[in-house]
Protein backbone atom coordinates (compact mmCIF):
# COMPACT_ATOMS: atom_id res chain seq x y z
CA UNK A 1 0.00 0.00 0.00
CA UNK A 2 1.46 3.36 -1.04
CA UNK A 3 1.95 6.24 1.37
CA UNK A 4 -0.50 8.29 -0.69
CA UNK A 5 -3.15 5.60 -0.41
CA UNK A 6 -2.61 5.36 3.37
CA UNK A 7 -3.17 9.13 3.62
CA UNK A 8 -6.41 8.81 1.65
CA UNK A 9 -7.60 5.96 3.87
CA UNK A 10 -6.73 7.92 7.01
CA UNK A 11 -8.65 10.98 5.80
CA UNK A 12 -11.68 8.85 5.01
CA UNK A 13 -11.52 7.17 8.43
CA UNK A 14 -11.32 10.49 10.28
CA UNK A 15 -14.15 12.00 8.25
CA UNK A 16 -16.44 9.03 8.84
CA UNK A 17 -15.56 8.91 12.54
CA UNK A 18 -16.45 12.56 12.98
CA UNK A 19 -19.71 12.03 11.14
CA UNK A 20 -20.64 9.07 13.33
CA UNK A 21 -20.01 11.10 16.49
CA UNK A 22 -22.21 13.89 15.18
CA UNK A 23 -25.06 11.43 14.54
CA UNK A 24 -24.74 9.99 18.02
CA UNK A 25 -25.25 13.44 19.53
CA UNK A 26 -27.95 14.72 17.16
CA UNK A 27 -31.69 14.08 17.37
CA UNK A 28 -33.56 12.65 14.42
CA UNK A 29 -34.19 15.02 11.55
CA UNK A 30 -37.20 17.26 11.89
CA UNK A 31 -39.25 19.00 9.23
CA UNK A 32 -37.34 22.20 9.93
CA UNK A 33 -33.93 20.67 9.30
CA UNK A 34 -32.09 22.04 6.25
CA UNK A 35 -31.61 19.95 3.15
CA UNK A 36 -27.86 19.50 2.76
CA UNK A 37 -26.36 18.96 -0.72
CA UNK A 38 -22.76 17.79 -0.48
CA UNK A 39 -20.53 18.51 -3.46
CA UNK A 40 -17.46 16.27 -3.01
CA UNK A 41 -15.30 18.42 -5.28
CA UNK A 42 -13.72 21.86 -5.17
CA UNK A 43 -15.90 24.94 -5.62
CA UNK A 44 -16.31 26.58 -9.00
CA UNK A 45 -16.74 23.47 -11.15
CA UNK A 46 -19.89 22.45 -13.00
CA UNK A 47 -21.01 20.15 -10.17
CA UNK A 48 -20.75 23.02 -7.70
CA UNK A 49 -22.50 25.44 -10.08
CA UNK A 50 -25.36 22.99 -10.65
CA UNK A 51 -25.85 22.21 -6.98
CA UNK A 52 -25.98 25.90 -6.11
CA UNK A 53 -28.42 26.64 -8.92
CA UNK A 54 -30.67 23.90 -7.59
CA UNK A 55 -30.36 25.16 -4.01
CA UNK A 56 -31.66 28.58 -5.07
CA UNK A 57 -34.94 27.08 -6.25
CA UNK A 58 -35.45 24.03 -4.03
CA UNK A 59 -35.91 25.91 -0.76
CA UNK A 60 -39.24 27.40 -1.82
CA UNK A 61 -40.36 24.20 -3.55
CA UNK A 62 -39.55 21.96 -0.56
CA UNK A 63 -40.42 24.52 2.15
CA UNK A 64 -37.11 24.01 3.94
CA UNK A 65 -33.67 25.67 3.91
CA UNK A 66 -31.15 24.22 1.45
CA UNK A 67 -27.38 24.45 1.95
CA UNK A 68 -24.52 23.37 -0.32
CA UNK A 69 -21.29 22.08 1.24
CA UNK A 70 -18.07 21.46 -0.67
CA UNK A 71 -16.13 18.48 0.76
CA UNK A 72 -13.39 17.72 -1.79
CA UNK A 73 -10.67 15.11 -1.56
CA UNK A 74 -9.63 11.68 -2.85
CA UNK A 75 -11.36 12.18 -6.21
CA UNK A 76 -14.68 12.83 -4.45
CA UNK A 77 -14.47 9.85 -2.10
CA UNK A 78 -14.26 11.80 1.18
CA UNK A 79 -17.47 13.80 0.79
CA UNK A 80 -19.31 10.92 -0.85
CA UNK A 81 -18.35 8.56 1.99
CA UNK A 82 -19.88 10.95 4.50
CA UNK A 83 -23.18 10.95 2.63
CA UNK A 84 -23.15 7.16 2.34
CA UNK A 85 -23.07 6.97 6.16
CA UNK A 86 -25.55 9.81 6.76
CA UNK A 87 -29.01 9.23 8.21
CA UNK A 88 -31.37 8.14 5.39
CA UNK A 89 -33.97 10.74 6.26
CA UNK A 90 -34.00 12.55 2.93
CA UNK A 91 -32.19 15.63 4.25
CA UNK A 92 -28.70 14.78 2.95
CA UNK A 93 -27.85 14.47 -0.73
CA UNK A 94 -24.65 14.27 -2.75
CA UNK A 95 -24.08 15.69 -6.21
CA UNK A 96 -21.65 13.40 -8.03
CA UNK A 97 -20.12 13.33 -11.50
CA UNK A 98 -19.29 10.37 -13.73
CA UNK A 99 -16.06 9.54 -11.88
CA UNK A 100 -18.29 8.37 -8.99
CA UNK A 101 -18.55 4.98 -10.70
CA UNK A 102 -14.74 4.68 -10.95
CA UNK A 103 -14.36 4.34 -7.17
CA UNK A 104 -14.04 0.61 -6.60
CA UNK A 105 -11.69 0.15 -9.54
CA UNK A 106 -9.42 2.94 -8.29
CA UNK A 107 -9.55 2.21 -4.54
CA UNK A 108 -10.01 -1.51 -3.74
CA UNK A 109 -10.72 -0.69 -0.08
CA UNK A 110 -13.20 2.11 -0.81
CA UNK A 111 -15.31 2.45 2.37
CA UNK A 112 -18.63 2.61 0.51
CA UNK A 113 -20.32 0.90 -2.41
CA UNK A 114 -21.02 3.46 -5.19
CA UNK A 115 -24.20 1.57 -6.13
CA UNK A 116 -25.62 -0.22 -3.08
CA UNK A 117 -24.96 2.54 -0.53
CA UNK A 118 -27.03 5.13 -2.40
CA UNK A 119 -30.60 5.72 -3.51
CA UNK A 120 -30.67 7.30 -6.99
CA UNK A 121 -32.62 10.55 -7.26
CA UNK A 122 -31.99 11.91 -10.76
CA UNK A 123 -29.44 12.08 -13.55
CA UNK A 124 -29.38 15.86 -13.72
CA UNK A 125 -27.11 16.69 -16.67
CA UNK A 126 -24.89 15.31 -19.39
CA UNK A 127 -21.84 17.30 -20.37
CA UNK A 128 -19.94 17.28 -23.64
CA UNK A 129 -16.19 16.68 -23.40
CA UNK A 130 -13.62 17.69 -25.98
CA UNK A 131 -10.02 16.90 -26.81
CA UNK A 132 -8.10 20.18 -26.81
CA UNK A 133 -4.48 20.96 -27.53
CA UNK A 134 -1.92 23.60 -26.71
CA UNK A 135 -1.75 26.28 -29.43
CA UNK A 136 1.97 25.55 -29.79
CA UNK A 137 1.33 21.94 -30.82
CA UNK A 138 1.59 21.77 -34.65
CA UNK A 139 -1.49 19.60 -35.18
CA UNK A 140 -5.13 20.41 -35.94
CA UNK A 141 -6.94 17.07 -35.83
CA UNK A 142 -6.72 13.57 -34.37
CA UNK A 143 -4.78 11.88 -37.22
CA UNK A 144 -2.15 14.63 -37.12
CA UNK A 145 -1.94 14.35 -33.32
CA UNK A 146 -1.50 10.58 -33.41
CA UNK A 147 1.24 10.79 -36.07
CA UNK A 148 3.03 13.55 -34.17
CA UNK A 149 2.99 11.74 -30.80
CA UNK A 150 3.93 8.36 -32.28
CA UNK A 151 7.03 9.96 -33.78
CA UNK A 152 7.97 11.27 -30.29
CA UNK A 153 7.33 8.44 -27.80
CA UNK A 154 7.38 9.51 -24.14
CA UNK A 155 8.26 13.09 -25.07
CA UNK A 156 4.78 14.65 -24.75
CA UNK A 157 2.25 14.85 -21.92
CA UNK A 158 -1.49 14.85 -21.40
CA UNK A 159 -2.92 16.79 -18.48
CA UNK A 160 -5.78 15.91 -16.14
CA UNK A 161 -7.76 17.43 -13.29
CA UNK A 162 -6.28 14.83 -10.93
CA UNK A 163 -5.49 11.14 -10.60
CA UNK A 164 -8.61 9.07 -11.14
CA UNK A 165 -10.68 11.96 -12.52
CA UNK A 166 -12.78 11.42 -15.62
CA UNK A 167 -10.34 13.74 -17.40
CA UNK A 168 -7.52 11.31 -16.49
CA UNK A 169 -9.45 8.19 -17.49
CA UNK A 170 -10.54 9.56 -20.86
CA UNK A 171 -7.04 10.81 -21.65
CA UNK A 172 -5.50 7.45 -20.80
CA UNK A 173 -8.20 5.60 -22.74
CA UNK A 174 -7.51 7.64 -25.86
CA UNK A 175 -3.74 7.13 -25.54
CA UNK A 176 -4.31 3.42 -25.07
CA UNK A 177 -6.59 3.08 -28.12
CA UNK A 178 -4.25 5.10 -30.34
CA UNK A 179 -1.11 3.36 -29.10
CA UNK A 180 0.41 6.58 -27.82
CA UNK A 181 3.20 6.72 -25.27
CA UNK A 182 2.56 9.91 -23.30
CA UNK A 183 3.22 11.08 -19.75
CA UNK A 184 0.21 11.77 -17.53
CA UNK A 185 0.48 15.03 -15.55
CA UNK A 186 -2.24 15.40 -12.89
CA UNK A 187 -3.27 18.78 -11.48
CA UNK A 188 -5.50 19.87 -8.62
CA UNK A 189 -8.46 20.77 -10.82
CA UNK A 190 -8.93 21.83 -14.41
CA UNK A 191 -8.01 25.49 -14.02
CA UNK A 192 -4.39 24.72 -13.14
CA UNK A 193 -4.19 22.15 -15.92
CA UNK A 194 -5.37 24.69 -18.47
CA UNK A 195 -2.70 27.23 -17.54
CA UNK A 196 0.14 24.81 -18.20
CA UNK A 197 -1.55 23.57 -21.37
CA UNK A 198 -1.80 27.10 -22.72
CA UNK A 199 1.87 27.65 -21.86
CA UNK A 200 2.84 24.48 -23.74
CA UNK A 201 4.18 22.59 -20.72
CA UNK A 202 1.62 19.86 -21.50
CA UNK A 203 0.15 19.18 -24.91
CA UNK A 204 -3.43 17.84 -24.71
CA UNK A 205 -6.32 17.33 -22.32
CA UNK A 206 -9.85 15.93 -22.39
CA UNK A 207 -12.16 18.28 -20.51
CA UNK A 208 -15.71 19.56 -20.50
CA UNK A 209 -16.62 21.98 -23.25
CA UNK A 210 -17.80 24.57 -20.74
CA UNK A 211 -14.47 24.52 -18.92
CA UNK A 212 -12.32 25.05 -22.02
CA UNK A 213 -14.63 27.17 -24.15
CA UNK A 214 -13.41 30.57 -22.89
CA UNK A 215 -9.82 29.58 -23.74
CA UNK A 216 -10.90 28.29 -27.16
CA UNK A 217 -12.80 31.50 -27.87
CA UNK A 218 -9.73 33.53 -26.91
CA UNK A 219 -7.50 31.47 -29.22
CA UNK A 220 -5.50 30.03 -26.32
CA UNK A 221 -6.55 26.40 -26.90
CA UNK A 222 -7.77 24.52 -29.97
CA UNK A 223 -10.35 21.75 -30.19
CA UNK A 224 -9.13 18.67 -32.04
CA UNK A 225 -12.18 16.44 -31.54
CA UNK A 226 -15.48 16.05 -29.74
CA UNK A 227 -15.62 13.33 -27.12
CA UNK A 228 -19.03 11.81 -27.83
CA UNK A 229 -21.16 13.63 -30.41
CA UNK A 230 -20.62 16.56 -32.74
CA UNK A 231 -21.04 19.88 -31.00
CA UNK A 232 -23.73 22.39 -32.06
CA UNK A 233 -21.25 25.26 -31.63
CA UNK A 234 -18.53 23.44 -33.60
CA UNK A 235 -20.42 21.19 -36.04
CA UNK A 236 -17.46 20.69 -38.39
CA UNK A 237 -15.25 19.12 -35.71
CA UNK A 238 -15.52 15.30 -35.82
CA UNK A 239 -15.72 13.03 -32.82
CA UNK A 240 -12.80 10.84 -31.75
CA UNK A 241 -14.81 7.83 -32.95
CA UNK A 242 -15.28 9.41 -36.37
CA UNK A 243 -11.57 10.18 -36.50
CA UNK A 244 -10.76 6.48 -36.46
CA UNK A 245 -11.38 5.18 -32.93
CA UNK A 246 -14.88 3.63 -32.87
CA UNK A 247 -16.18 2.79 -29.43
CA UNK A 248 -14.50 5.76 -27.77
CA UNK A 249 -16.98 8.03 -26.02
CA UNK A 250 -15.94 10.75 -23.57
CA UNK A 251 -18.91 12.30 -21.83
CA UNK A 252 -19.45 13.43 -18.27
CA UNK A 253 -22.66 13.64 -16.27
CA UNK A 254 -23.94 14.97 -12.97
CA UNK A 255 -26.33 13.12 -10.68
CA UNK A 256 -28.08 13.49 -7.34
CA UNK A 257 -27.94 10.61 -4.84
CA UNK A 258 -29.30 10.05 -1.33
CA UNK A 259 -28.17 7.53 1.28
CA UNK A 260 -29.54 4.03 0.74
CA UNK A 261 -32.70 3.46 2.76
CA UNK A 262 -34.12 6.94 2.18
CA UNK A 263 -37.92 6.52 2.04
CA UNK A 264 -39.31 6.07 -1.46
CA UNK A 265 -41.86 8.85 -0.95
CA UNK A 266 -39.06 11.31 -0.13
CA UNK A 267 -37.03 10.16 -3.15
CA UNK A 268 -40.06 10.72 -5.38
CA UNK A 269 -40.59 14.18 -3.93
CA UNK A 270 -36.92 15.13 -4.37
CA UNK A 271 -36.92 13.80 -7.93
CA UNK A 272 -40.05 15.74 -8.82
CA UNK A 273 -38.83 19.04 -7.40
CA UNK A 274 -35.24 18.77 -8.65
CA UNK A 275 -36.38 17.92 -12.19
CA UNK A 276 -38.81 20.85 -12.08
CA UNK A 277 -36.00 23.17 -10.94
CA UNK A 278 -33.67 21.90 -13.69
CA UNK A 279 -36.30 22.72 -16.29
CA UNK A 280 -36.83 26.32 -15.18
CA UNK A 281 -35.82 28.48 -18.18
CA UNK A 282 -33.18 30.42 -16.23
CA UNK A 283 -31.62 27.25 -14.81
CA UNK A 284 -31.64 25.44 -18.15
CA UNK A 285 -30.03 28.44 -19.88
CA UNK A 286 -27.32 28.79 -17.22
CA UNK A 287 -26.44 25.10 -17.52
CA UNK A 288 -26.49 25.12 -21.32
CA UNK A 289 -24.20 28.16 -21.30
CA UNK A 290 -21.81 26.10 -19.15
CA UNK A 291 -21.86 23.27 -21.71
CA UNK A 292 -24.34 20.97 -19.96
CA UNK A 293 -27.50 19.37 -21.29
CA UNK A 294 -30.38 19.03 -18.82
CA UNK A 295 -31.61 15.44 -18.44
CA UNK A 296 -33.78 15.09 -15.31
CA UNK A 297 -34.18 11.30 -15.30
CA UNK A 298 -36.30 9.10 -13.07
CA UNK A 299 -34.59 7.37 -10.12
CA UNK A 300 -34.85 4.02 -11.91
CA UNK A 301 -33.18 5.37 -15.04
CA UNK A 302 -30.30 6.76 -12.99
CA UNK A 303 -29.94 3.43 -11.20
CA UNK A 304 -29.57 1.64 -14.52
CA UNK A 305 -26.97 4.18 -15.68
CA UNK A 306 -24.89 3.75 -12.53
CA UNK A 307 -24.78 -0.04 -12.82
CA UNK A 308 -23.94 -0.03 -16.54
CA UNK A 309 -21.25 2.63 -16.26
CA UNK A 310 -19.56 1.12 -13.21
CA UNK A 311 -19.18 -2.13 -15.16
CA UNK A 312 -17.93 -0.39 -18.31
CA UNK A 313 -15.42 1.93 -16.68
CA UNK A 314 -14.40 -0.46 -13.92
CA UNK A 315 -13.30 -2.98 -16.54
CA UNK A 316 -11.53 -0.25 -18.52
CA UNK A 317 -9.69 1.20 -15.51
CA UNK A 318 -8.51 -2.20 -14.32
CA UNK A 319 -7.32 -3.14 -17.80
CA UNK A 320 -5.32 0.09 -18.09
CA UNK A 321 -3.93 -0.26 -14.56
CA UNK A 322 -5.00 3.19 -13.33
CA UNK A 323 -4.72 3.69 -9.56
CA UNK A 324 -4.87 6.62 -7.19
CA UNK A 325 -1.17 7.35 -6.61
Q: Write out pLDDT tens, residues 120-178.
A: 999 999 998 999 999 999 999 999 999 999 999 999 999 998 888 899 999 999 999 99
**What SS3 string covers 76-97?**
HHHHHHHHHCCCCCCCEEEEEE
Buried b (16+ CB within 10 A) or exposed e, 98-124: bbbbbbbbbbeebbbebbebbbbbbbb
DSSP 34: P
DSSP 239: B
Averaged confidence pLDDT in the chain: 89
Q: Are 127 and 250 in contact (CB under 8 A)?
A: no
> Considering just the CA atoms, what is the radius of gyration of the chain in Å?
20
Show Cβ contacts of residue 151 under 8 Å, excluding neighbours closer than 6 positions: none
pLDDT tens digits for range 90-122 = 999 999 999 999 999 998 889 999 999 999 999
pLDDT tens digits for range 248-304 = 999 999 999 999 999 999 999 999 999 999 999 999 999 998 889 999 999 999 999
Separation CA 189–CA 199 (nearest Å): 17
Report pLDDT for 324.
Answer: 74
Q: Is the pLDDT of residue 19 over 80?
A: no
Decide the pairing of beta strands 66-70 and 35-39: parallel
Report pLDDT for 325.
Answer: 54
Give the mean pLDDT of 232-239. 94
- For residue 113, the SS3 value is coil
Report pLDDT for 6.
Answer: 47
Amino acid sequence: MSASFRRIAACLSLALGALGAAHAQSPAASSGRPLRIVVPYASGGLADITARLLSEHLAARLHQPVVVENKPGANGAIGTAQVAKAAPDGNTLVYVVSSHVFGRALIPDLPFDPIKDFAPVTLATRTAMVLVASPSLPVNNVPELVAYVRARPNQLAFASAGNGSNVHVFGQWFADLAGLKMTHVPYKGSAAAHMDLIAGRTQIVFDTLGAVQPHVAAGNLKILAAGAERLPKYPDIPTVAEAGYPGFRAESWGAVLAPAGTPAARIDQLNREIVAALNLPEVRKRLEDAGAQVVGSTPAELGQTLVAEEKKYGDLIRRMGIRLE
